[in-house]
Amino acid sequence: MSLVTYEVGRSPGPPTRTRVDVDPITMRVLGGAFHAIAKEMAGVLFRMSYSSIIRESEDLGAGIFDAHGRELCESDSTPMHIGSLPWYIRGFLDRLDGDIHDRDVIVHNHPFLGASHSPDVAVAVPIFWEGELLGFAAVTAHVLDVGGSFPGINADAFDVYAEAKLYNGLRWYREGELNLDVDRMMFDNVRTETMNRGDMNAMMAACQLGRDRFLRLIQRYGVETVMSAAYGWMDYSERMLREQIAKIPDGEYVAPTAWLDDDARNRGRRLRVETKVVVEGDGITIDLTGSEAEVPTGFNVPFEGSLLVGAYYAVRTLLLDELTFPEHVPQNDGVFRPVEVIAPKGTIFNPNFPRACFSRFCQVQRVVDNTLLALAEQLPQQVTAGNSAGIHFCSYSGFVPESGEYWLYLEVNEGAYGGRYGKDAMDSVDNLMANTRNNPIEELDLRFPMRCDQYELRPEPAAPGQWRGGLGIIRRNRFLVDGTYSCEGDRQYDPPRGVFGGWDGMTASTYKNPGTARQEYLEAKVTGIEFKAGEYIEFREPNGGGYGDPLERDPARVREDVLDDFTTIDLARDAYGVVFTDEKSLEIDTEATERRRSELRASRDGARASLNTVFARDEGKLLPSASPVSEAGNRAFGL
């Protein structure tokens, strides 16, 4: 098998056309046009799609790329998707070896040839101008089923062949004509033909619209001007990011060791994630040397399509946040260039073919979370405390004899951010690399034989800090018919870390039939768990870590937290050092608060504190922790 060998973090080859000077006004106009095209492509896709994972969660990416896969522009959607599309394109370019024609429609999902993982199918159409291949309009989105060993999610797949049907640079349409054999192969081998076909037709329509919009720009401004503006914006984005990297002192910054729950098969065996960030001049390297060896399940990470994207995102979001950075810096190939990534071959972040790579998301999230923690001392006003940095991505399914297809529902359960400088964390929101929208409960109740019985903020308090951590969700879903549940999740053992004296957050948990005689604790990664009609599942997603010393929090804000159920009277006293005159009025006893805070400061020994041991879910028993530093902190704080 031929694999892509482009240099990591670098665009392949020189620009395809001679550059010409473009005046600043035209540059700005074309930059806005590029972004508008990508947004319109994404809008077409989520409005036309059949499945809720695309239509409601907007689990998609869309953009325009040059003939080598360089990103000209991207949609404002899930970061994991759009940053991977350059590698999809380079993957199928390697496969097709130049045999690309106008009006072709190319489908690709090979995780060892650029795909983020096999369920994220890409559709691309070439953009030709006067016989010359200028680039591609491309989208990728998560389709409901890709024909693996279980419906929807396959965390425990044996190899890449077991996890999905592989589409390796297939021509769905050749020069505008449907390739009927390819069409049958793609849709006859999945459990949800109707939904997949509808979604992929929407993807094709989005690409065709993007191609046509780009060609209209060429017609109006000329090919040299448009392509020169595109490369000019790339250079500008690269320059702006390098300027921000150069402001960080040169050095090596190491995050605390993170631990993933398990590999979906070998229970109790935690998986190590080591992250070192090296800053040298105006370049930055994320080095994962020392991380866990590849595993025999689907819990490995495609290097190009997922890991690189996570690294690019972590650096971009820290240094060029679009809400706080004073200048507009577009997302394109330029922001990839200053970032290098090291992940030794044969680790979970750079597996050997044909390892399965289906369930790769939580690992990438932890790399992003670790990158923030590693740079906390250097960028204290830009990082957050530890985030949930993971999702419980679930599939619920059953067979419908009348249609000969499966009903299949994919759901992303969100956690929370960690606290940040000057602000409490955001609650109950997908974070870091995810950024998908939550599916409304009406979507589940109206369209599938299931009901959502509970969906709210989890009841346990937020992690204490000068700025508190965020609250995850508690959700209960009930099966109305017999069905099957699978999940790729994590963070049921290693809590999000507090920073600058903030407390660690809380781990997630999953239970089948909680509160009944049939209660069963479920690991985060499971495949093909059977549920009978009337049985239900409960998720509690992680609470984020706290930021800063809780004793520095304004007592009035602590009082408001007690009133709003973000914390308890006991934690107000023992974590924040705030004492009330009585539990009814909650009036602050100023003198007692000052004494209590002095006592707490005097008793500290520098250890960490974690809520995970205060509010254990397993009937008062602590769930295993993979964080030795947190366990030591718990003992030191008498928890």
Residue-wise pLDDT for 254-296, tens only, equals: 999 999 999 999 999 999 999 999 999 999 999 999 999 999 9
pLDDT at 435: 65
117: pLDDT strictly greater than 50: yes
CA 410 to chain centre: 15
Which pLDDT band, with edges at 50, 70 and 90, does 4 fall under?
Answer: very low
pLDDT at 324: 87
pLDDT at 13: 58
pLDDT at 112: 97
pLDDT at 1: 39
Reported as a single tens digit per residue, the pLDDT across 408-448 is: 999 999 899 999 999 999 999 888 887 677 888 998 999 99
Give the type of residue at 613: T
pLDDT at 323: 84
pLDDT at 108: 98
CA distance 188 to 545: 46
pLDDT at 607: 65
625: pLDDT strictly greater than 80: no
Which pLDDT band, with edges at 50, 70 and 90, does 53 fall under?
Answer: confident
Burial class (CB in 10 A: 0-12, 13-18, 19+), 588: middle
Share of the chain above pLDDT 70, in %: 92
Reported as a single tens digit per residue, the pLDDT across 69-85 is: 999 999 987 777 768 99
Nearest Cα to 469, choosing from 365, 389, 587? 389
Per-position b or e across 247-285, b if 16+ CB within 10 A of its CB? ebeeeebebbbbbbbbbbeeeeebbebbbbbbbeebbbb
> For all residues of the chain together, what is the average pLDDT?
91
Reported as a single tens digit per residue, the pLDDT across 16-50 is: 567 899 999 999 999 999 999 999 999 999 899 99
Is 226 in a helix, a strand, or coil?
A: helix
Reported as a single tens digit per residue, the pLDDT across 321-335 is: 888 899 999 999 999
pLDDT at 617: 46
346: pLDDT strictly greater than 80: yes
Nearest Cα to 420, choosing from 481, 366, 451, 379? 379
Delimit the domains of the chain by residue range. 24-239, 384-548
pLDDT at 622: 36
Which pLDDT band, with edges at 50, 70 and 90, does 633 fall under?
Answer: very low
Reported as a single tens digit per residue, the pLDDT across 352-376 is: 999 999 999 999 999 999 999 999 9
Reported as a single tens digit per residue, the pLDDT across 567-600 is: 999 999 999 999 999 988 999 999 999 999 999 9
Partner residues linked to 411 by β-bridges? 394
Whether the CB-CB separation of 204 and 125 falls below 8 Å is answered with yes
Evaluated on CA atoms 314, 315, 318, 321, the torsion sign reads negative
Average pLDDT value for residue range 526-546: 97
Q: What is the enclosing helix (H) or strand (E) of 569?
A: helix 569-574
2: pLDDT strictly greater than 60: no
pLDDT at 6: 35
Whether the CB-CB separation of 248 and 375 falls below 8 Å is answered with yes
240: pLDDT strictly greater than 80: yes
More confident residue, 617 or 495: 495
Is 591 in a helix, a strand, or coil?
A: helix
pLDDT at 209: 98
Whether the CB-CB separation of 73 and 330 falls below 8 Å is answered with yes
